[in-house]
Amino acid sequence: MKRIILLGTIVVFLYSSCKKETQWLISEVYSNGQAKIEQEYYLEGNDTVFIYQRILSVNGNLQIEGVLENGERHGMWKSYYPNGNVWSKTGFINGKSEGETITFYPNGQIRYTGFYSEGEKDGEWQWYDSTGVVMKNASF
Does residue 103 contact residue 111 with C-beta atoms inside 8 Å?
A: yes
The CA-based angle 33-38-40, given to 5 degrees, is: 150
- 3-class DSSP state for residue 6? helix
Q: Does domain 23-139 have CATH number 3.30.450?
A: no
pLDDT at 15 over 90: no
Tens-place pLDDT, residues 33-92 = 999 999 999 999 999 999 999 999 999 999 999 999 999 999 999 999 999 999 999 999
pTM of the model: 0.80
Give the closest residue to 22 by CA, choosing from 53, 51, 47, 65.
51
| Domain ranges for the chain | 23-139
Please report which confidence band the pLDDT of residue 19 belongs to, taking 50, 70 and 90 as the band edges.
Answer: low
pLDDT computed for residue 20 by the predictor? 82
% the chain with pLDDT above 90: 85
Return d(Cα 85, Cα 62) in angstroms, integer: 10
pLDDT computed for residue 32 by the predictor? 94
